[in-house]
Amino acid sequence: MQNKPVYMMAVAPHPHDAEWGIGGTVARWTREGKDVIFVICTNGDKGTSDPGIKPAVLAGIRKQEALESARLLGVKQVIFMDHPDLGLEDTPEFRKEILRLILTYRPEIVATRDPYFQRYVSNRDHRITGHVVLDSVWPYALSPNTYPDLIEQGLQLHKVKQVLLWTPENPNYRYDISATFELKKAALGCHKSQMEDDEYFRMITDSNKAAAQGTEFTFAEAFVRVEIPQRL
Ligand SMILES: [Zn+2]
């Protein structure tokens, strides 16, 4: 049951969210030999404006796109939770699933989407994933009595050091991705089902350039970096 601890676990609501938010940073870390894994909460089967494509077909396409993209970035493993797209709920069961992954893979850093971004018009899976990940990292991962059956199954409590929230409105941390921006774009380019027009690459280029403003970097990814208390 016990895996070797990983450096970072990125929990993405949908396929391609992690690449969009933290792909350049991931590529830097994997080049340094650090283990990164992706968890993808939903199957992405609503991610189209084309009424002609069946949800099950789209889910299959998106799984292949995610695997190809993760391989480019040097991601060690992709875990597909396969929940229905736009169907996440903040339930005890979903929180337990995320907690189980944290206690199993024991990441030093957990990254996910900032749940507070665009709070009035935001994707529900983004909001719910962000909140559930934060709850699972603290306090659940330090609390033996929240899901005692996980502990009885042999999992141990775990102290995550840091959470990085991507796509924040008010970042407190910027990471230089000048050297890996092209690779990030190539990874995003694997998600062909999500590219309806040229906007896709223009948006990410503008966003990562804007994140670098005021720094010496050409491209950056911006985060809210949350230091996690190491005790209850
Ligand atoms: Zn998404």
CA of 126 to the centre of ligand 1 (A): 6
| Cα 151 to middle of ligand 1, angstroms | 32
From ligand 1's centre to the CA of 149, what distance in Å? Answer: 31
Percent of the chain with pLDDT over 70: 99
**Alpha-carbon torsion angle 47, 43, 110, 33, nearest 10:** -100
Distance 208 CA to ligand 1 centre (A): 17
C-alpha 104 – ligand 1 centre gap (Å): 24
113-164 per-position pLDDT tens digit = 999 998 899 999 999 999 999 999 999 999 999 999 999 999 999 999 999 9
Residue 177's nearest CA partner among 37, 17, 28 is 28
pLDDT category at 3 given cuts 50, 70, 90 is: low
CA of 152 to the centre of ligand 1 (A): 34
pTM above 0.85, yes or no: yes
> Rounded to the nearest whole angstrom, what is the distance from the C-alpha of residue 42 to the centroid of ligand 1?
9
pLDDT digits (tens, 9 = 90+) for 49-102: 999 999 999 999 999 999 999 999 999 999 999 999 999 999 999 999 999 999
Cα-to-centroid distance, 159 and ligand 1 (Å): 27
Alpha helix ranges (H) inside the chain = 17-31, 55-73, 92-105, 124-137, 148-152, 181-189, 199-212
Helix (H, G, I), strand (E, B) or coil at 83: strand
Residue 13, preceding bond cis, omega within 30 degrees? no
Distance CA 229, CA 197 (A): 43
